[in-house]
Structure 1
Amino acid sequence: MRYVAVVGSGECSEELARLAYEVGSGLARRGVVVICGGRGGVMAAAARGVQETGGVVIGLLPGTSRAEGNPYLTFSLPTGLGEARNAVIACAAEALIAVGGGYGTLSEVALALKRGKRVVGLAFSFPQLPGIITAATPEEAVEKALSP
């Protein structure tokens, strides 16, 4: 099994949600377990893409209740860590795909890069960050995340 995180803002535009959905669906078609922060926005869109394609998605929630997770998660894991869960996401995934994103996403990306993980940016808000592999489409993002 391969594990890839899809990260991005808890609120997003319809376009970013579409991109995240397609990334989640593409990863699920490849048999990848998807990890996300488990809440709304990019996370919910990616999780919906995974679920509707028959894949597995794990949400690492910031609080202590499974109820804060979006309805598309296969597994909801409350961490009680708040934003520190970003470090768990960056550690648990083999690669990260960042869709859009704000400072929380930037922290996940930075932690993944620090650990030597592959990080692919799709419509990523900070493309000039050294180490980011850019992708123009959801399909390209999935392909680049899974490259050896």
Structure 2
Amino acid sequence: MMKKLIGVIGGRDATPELEEIAYQVGRLIAKNSYGLVCGGRGGIMEAAARGCAEQGGLTVGILLGEDTSEANPYIQVAIPTGLGIARNLLVVRAAEGLIAIDGKFGTLSEIAFALQLEKPLVGIYTWDVEPTMPTAQSAEEAMQKLLSMIA
């Protein structure tokens, strides 16, 4: 049976509080029988992958470079693209829906791709670029909103 993926997008530099939210998002992804797709590196991506992996879920990292060495230790399927930041589009395309947590310009580009592709998207303490984009204050609230959008 094919596993559907939820994307978690966010920065490699994050506060411990935001990493905890990402960790909880990752756990909820696995608890809801989805896999996780992300950029596969540190910060928000690593925290979410850790939560998902510890809950027994599938973790996929779509990487910037040409080898798997940049993947965080919780990525089970590492996909080296050699595309640099162009890989952001692949992360968005692979996901049924996405949760954006914090982040800088890379996250902003992923948010823009998600909006252009009309992918379900919920933000937690991230860029406010679209008035109709749902936001949440917690992992639980974000997951609930995203799952209702996907359904």
Q: Same fold (TM over 0.5)?
A: yes
For 1:131 and 1:106, locate their aligned partners in 2 and report how far apart those are by CA, in whole Å: 16
Map of 1:51 onto structure 2: 53
Question: After superposition, what is the alpha-carbon deviation per residue over 1:25-82, rounded to whole angstroms, capped at 9, x for unaligned?
Answer: 0111111111000000000000000011110010000001101100001111101110
SS in structure 1 at match of 2:135: strand
Map of 1:101 onto structure 2: 103
Map of 2:114 onto structure 1: 112
For 1:2 and 1:142, locate their aligned partners in 2 and report how far apart those are by CA, in whole Å: 15
For 2:117 and 2:129, locate their aligned partners in 1 and report how far apart those are by CA, in whole Å: 19
Q: CA RMSD in A?
A: 1.0
Q: Is the 8 A contact 1:113 1:131 kept in 2?
A: no
For 1:108 and 1:128, locate their aligned partners in 2 and report how far apart those are by CA, in whole Å: 12
For 1:79 and 1:128, locate their aligned partners in 2 and report how far apart those are by CA, in whole Å: 28
SS in structure 2 at match of 1:40: coil
Q: TM-score, normalised by structure 2?
A: 0.94
The answer for unaligned runs of 5 or more in structure 1 is: none
Shift of 1:123: 1.5
Q: Is the 8 A contact 1:119 1:131 kept in 2?
A: no
The answer to whether 1:130 aligns with 2:131 is: yes
For 1:104 and 1:72, locate their aligned partners in 2 and report how far apart those are by CA, in whole Å: 21
Shift of 1:11: 1.1
Map of 1:75 onto structure 2: 77
For 1:33 and 1:63, locate their aligned partners in 2 and report how far apart those are by CA, in whole Å: 22
The count of corresponding residues between Structure 1 and Structure 2 is 147
Q: TM-score, normalised by structure 1?
A: 0.96
The answer for unaligned runs of 5 or more in structure 2 is: none
For 1:128 and 1:77, locate their aligned partners in 2 and report how far apart those are by CA, in whole Å: 29
**Equivalent residue in structure 2 for 1:41, among 32, 40, 43:** 43
Shift of 1:128: 4.5
SS in structure 2 at match of 1:106: helix
Displaced runs of 4 or more, over 6 A: none
For 2:9 and 2:131, locate their aligned partners in 1 and report how far apart those are by CA, in whole Å: 18
